Amino acid sequence: MEDIKNKAEEPVLSNAAIPKVTGIDGIFFFSDKPDETRAWYANNLGLEVNEWGSTFESRNINRPEEINSLQWSPFLAGSDYFALQKKNSYSTTGFRISKNL
């Protein structure tokens, strides 16, 4: 048990080389009827949607010239788009990662 603990404490990368999460890049989820889901959000919440869902833009509060986007997308339930996800997973979140490695 102690060997496992000691290995877990050893850094794999230096802190300077570890990528940092800087925000959320996307929210992706399964729906039985993704077209109807997109339409409902457009009609009831005013989302501007296309075949992929909706894109939200925001500015970085520390660097206002930097514009970030978040993609909101429903996918057909049972789709293999997220094949690496667990079989019973219903959604995934994409993180925005720093480029300063």
Does residue 6 sit within a domain?
no
Does residue 74 sit within a domain?
yes
Show the DSSP H helices in 1-101 as ranges.
Answer: 2-9, 34-45
What is the span of the domain harbouring residue 70? 19-97
Q: Structural domain tally of the chain?
A: 1
Does residue 46 sit within a domain?
yes
**Quick check: 81 pLDDT over 80?**
no
CB contact at 8 A, 58 and 67? yes
Does residue 2 sit within a domain?
no
CB contact at 8 A, 74 and 38? yes
Does residue 4 sit within a domain?
no
- pLDDT of the residue at 19: 80
73 or 94: which leads in pLDDT:
73
Does residue 24 sit within a domain?
yes
Does residue 10 sit within a domain?
no
pLDDT for 4-62, tens place per residue? 555 556 556 566 677 888 788 888 888 999 999 999 999 999 999 999 899 999 998 88
Residue 59 makes CB contacts below 8 A (sequence gap 6+) with 65, 66, 67, 68
Structure tokens at 46: 């005013």
Does residue 12 sit within a domain?
no
